[in-house]
Amino acid sequence: MIDFEKTKAWRSGEVRHAYTTKDSILYALGVGIGHDPLDAAQLRFTYERDLVVLPTMAAVLASPGFWMRDRTELGIDFLKLVHGEQAVTLHTPLPAAARIVGQSRVTRIVDKGEGKGAVLHVEKLITDEASGTLLATAEQVLFLRGDGGFSKQGGGDEAAPPAPATPDTAPELVLDLPTRPEAALVYRLSGDINPLHVDPAVAAKAGFARPILHGLATYGVACHGVVKAFCGYDPARLKHFRARLTSPVYPGETLRLEAWRVAAGEVAFRCRVVERDLVVLANGRALLA
């Protein structure tokens, strides 16, 4: 069972990460940018000349790793952990290459009740190593399906405000974004080497017909769609990007971005898999300059 005080006090310390233009290009390729290699706008993310970076790369930079598995004294049942939501806030555009420092901490632990699991919020601050400039803030929300009921022993935070609902009107924009059959093989090179995404035997043991695409890859594909449709392929215009990961995607499937302008500089969105008519990202919000 979760030890609330120890888990709430968890800090990663400084995680130093030097990434290069090759890493930025590899991330872009892993989320489907470059599908049309003759598209000059996509080439800005995949060619080192005047290279720009997709903002959601902040989610994978300077990661503290699978710390819940290594810190057994916290009491987290990591085998029943599900990545539920992800957000990134850009304070300045990510450089194409940099030496950065990431510092992560637990900000909220919510007990949903015995048998109902718990919700863990982890914040990561990314700063430039040389200048100390804050580049981005990333928030990861994890559903701990095996850890409900811990508050009986003391502790527990209030739940975060609910995510805004997706509009119930017809979407203003619909954009199909194909994923490649080898997408997970490329995306895993950005840091998540979980065999669930590459090994058919591991995927079958987990109950999947074949290896699934990383949830953060789906998240990145959606960001590509929003940057294309609403930012004119200028990633500096995207200031905040958040979504709930609701269902897995199989590499090779088509993601359909459905989006609405809900206020000045604010876009609501979701993504569904066309082939199975299944929503895989929900409650999406993007804030634009």
Residues carrying an active site annotation? 192, 197, 212, 215
Q: What strands, in cross-sheet order, belong to the sheet with 98-111?
A: 11-19, 98-111, 118-128, 134-144, 81-90, 238-245, 278-288, 266-273, 254-263, 173-178
Q: Within 10 Å of residue 209's Cβ, how many Cβ atoms?
A: 9
Return the amino acid letter for 253: E
Two structure tokens written together for 68: 């819940």
* CA 198 – CA 194 distance, rounded (Å): 8
> How many CA atoms, within 13 angstroms, populate the side-chain half-sphere of residue 72?
0
Report which of 92, 41, 28 is spatially closest to residue 229, judged by C-alpha positions. Answer: 41
The DSSP element (H or E) to which 186 belongs, if any, is helix 183-187
Contact 108, 121 (CB under 8 A): yes
Bin 50: left if φ > 0, else alpha if -120 < ψ < 50, else beta: left
